[in-house]
Structure 1
Amino acid sequence: MNFSKDEKFLEVKDYTVSQEVFSLYYNRTYDLLQTDPMPAEENLGRYYQSENYISHTDGKRNIFERLYQSVKRIALRKKVDLLFRQNIVAGSILDIGCGTGDFLVEAKKRGWDATGFEPSEKARGLASKKEIKIVPQLCELPNHSFDVITLWHVLEHVPNLEEQISELYRLLKPEGKLIVAVPNYKSYDAIYYKEYWAAFDVPRHLWHFSQKSIASIFANFNFQVDELQPMLFDSFYVSLLSEEYKTGKKNWIKAFFIGLRSNVEARNSMEYSSLVYCLSKVRN
């Protein structure tokens, strides 16, 4: 696959950890943005070393983190509901980038045989305390092992897309479902906040996808997109962080209205702040 850097799209700062500035380059073939420079794989870990990276913690230190954890509980139930809507009886599920394991805990409660993979040692430690089965390496798993594989805001973090998608194809059963959630750089909140849009999250996010990106890239690996679903909470959360990056304050009220407008604008276009793609293998 040719992920050429056709033109510079934007310069974006890492507001979470390093304060370094990175460029986003546009690829016309896949309608894809790529972070440049991409940190070497062995150096990526240092960009996650922050207490502010709350997806790798169970933190409730302040009102923002408590709100995040409350919304997360609702979102977890909705994620498991989505699995059942894919017409698959609760079976085997692999969550790649499972973080602290809360999604798998919810899935396990509702009858799924749950397995997780998480590269972050800190998050993996929290997940293991919740009696979740965590595998050390995906390559150790046998072919066609899972009815469902999920990546909730993970694909944008993966250095080598081709290797990762090939591995997904290998691990998924022929009739299985692949669930991929990623931010959408064509959403209203992304266009409004531009370089301050929190979901660019450089350099942890190496890739930035559109609807065309996901459909085109996965088609190269014999996957097809069957369904799109919005992640409605994301526009509010991302707008809140973006306001802080832009102004130094969270500006709760303004962030709420930007998040709300983003969801309203997306009702026809489906250009929500984050999208869930439900994919399956193309049948020959």
Structure 2
Amino acid sequence: MGKEKEFYKGLLPFLNCKDYTVSEESYEVMVNQEYKMLVTSPVPVDLENYYKSEDYISHTDSKKTVLDKVYQSVKNITLKRKLRLINSFKTTTKNVLDVGAGTGDFLKVCKNNSWNTFGVEPSIDAINIAAGKGVFLKEQLSEFQNEKFDVITLWHVLEHVENLQDYIFNLKQMLSKGGRIIVAVPNYKSYDAKYYKEHWAAFDVPRHLWHFSQCSIHKLFSEVEMIVDKTLPMKFDSYYVSLLSEKYKSGKTKPINAFYRGFLSNMKARSSSQYSSLIYVIKNY
């Protein structure tokens, strides 16, 4: 676990959460006060097996259920916004690396808009689906060690990585001078997280190893001499996460309740800035 051992020192209890996707097992979500983040404990030895589920939608293009259809519809809207964000940067080579590229939709949009696209995805099934779209992904980040990128994106990925500090350091080494890392992660300080508590779907134990606050992202990247240049909301996430959370809490999909909680979360975040998920634009100087 290397440097990550320090994240597990002096932890305080926060919540006991259940894996609703694969195992039905319970995990402790603990507070690391120094980094102002939460830590999932313990980490399963066979963590890769906890991604083996048809319900793990980022590895599929499924439209079987109402939740699937909502996810896929919102994805098409957010892809345009993600592209607009990276197009706003001044770049030299237009090289973009998407880490945790899933089924390749973001890179496909980038490729169609004159970006040189590169991607990493550990799921073989997702890699095969992406290849059918003309997007060819590698399995390991180490396969790109000699490359330099203007933009590296991690859309809901950083919460999954096991060797967090080493991983962040390696990302910085792969970034060109003046380049940017874009990190999108859930925010456990949001209203919907506080409302749903142990049923909050974005805890997603044990797949989510880390649960970040704005303070923790700033601290982690400042340790490798990078600065958070901009923080942006992901307003759709509060609705989707609330849909799942309602299902976990009551065993039923309650779209009206979920819409209300998602709406309320976004309204409260207008003054607090604590949206359900946040995008951090992190600059390399």
So what's the TM-score if we normalise by structure 2?
Answer: 0.95
Report the AA paired with residue 151 of structure 1. Answer: L
Aligned pair partner of 1:55 in 58, 63, 70: 58
Give, in whole Å, the separation in 1 of the partners of 2:93 and 2:143: 23
Give, in whole Å, the separation in 1 of the partners of 2:140 and 2:252: 41
Measured against aligned partners, the alpha-carbon deviations of 1:53-76 in whole angstroms (never above 9, x if no partner) come to 111100011332122111111111
Measured against aligned partners, the alpha-carbon deviations of 1:4-34 in whole angstroms (never above 9, x if no partner) come to 2420111000011100000011011100100
Report the AA paired with residue 57 of structure 2. Answer: I
| Unpaired runs of at least 5, structure 2 | none
CA shift at 1:217, angstroms?
Answer: 0.9
Specify the alignment match of 2:152 in structure 1.
149
Aligned pair partner of 2:14 in 2, 9, 24: 9
What SS class does the counterpart of residue 177 from structure 1 fall into? strand
What SS class does the counterpart of residue 150 from structure 2 fall into? strand
**Structure 1 pair 39/5, CA: closer, same or farther in 2 (3 Å)?**
farther
- Whether the aligned pair in 1 keeps the contact of 2:36 and 2:216 (CA below 8 Å) is yes
Matched, 1:23 2:50: no
| Unpaired runs of at least 5, structure 1 | none
Give, in whole Å, the separation in 2 of the partners of 1:144 and 1:226: 23
- Whether the aligned pair in 2 keeps the contact of 1:143 and 1:172 (CA below 8 Å) is no
Aligned length: 280
**Structure 1 pair 219/144, CA: closer, same or farther in 2 (3 Å)?**
farther
- Whether the aligned pair in 1 keeps the contact of 2:244 and 2:253 (CA below 8 Å) is yes
What SS class does the counterpart of residue 177 from structure 2 fall into? strand
Give, in whole Å, the separation in 1 of the partners of 2:267 and 2:107: 31
- Whether the aligned pair in 1 keeps the contact of 2:265 and 2:276 (CA below 8 Å) is yes
Aligned pair partner of 1:112 in 97, 110, 115: 115
- Whether the aligned pair in 1 keeps the contact of 2:70 and 2:240 (CA below 8 Å) is no
What SS class does the counterpart of residue 135 from structure 1 fall into? coil
Pairing of 1:88-99 with structure 2 (within 5 A): 88=91, 91-99=94-102
- Aligned-residue identity in percent: 51
Measured against aligned partners, the alpha-carbon deviations of 1:157-178 in whole angstroms (never above 9, x if no partner) come to 0011012101101111011111
Specify the alignment match of 1:210 in structure 2.
213
- Whether the aligned pair in 1 keeps the contact of 2:123 and 2:139 (CA below 8 Å) is no
| Aligned-CA RMSD value | 1.3
Measured against aligned partners, the alpha-carbon deviations of 1:257-277 in whole angstroms (never above 9, x if no partner) come to 100010010012210000000
**Structure 1 pair 252/90, CA: closer, same or farther in 2 (3 Å)?**
farther
Specify the alignment match of 2:239 in structure 1.
236
Pairing of 1:157-176 with structure 2 (within 5 A): 157-176=160-179
User: After the TM superposition, which of the residue ranges 86-95 and 198-207 deviates more from structure 2?
Assistant: 86-95
- Whether the aligned pair in 2 keeps the contact of 1:177 and 1:279 (CA below 8 Å) is yes
Specify the alignment match of 1:188 in structure 2.
191
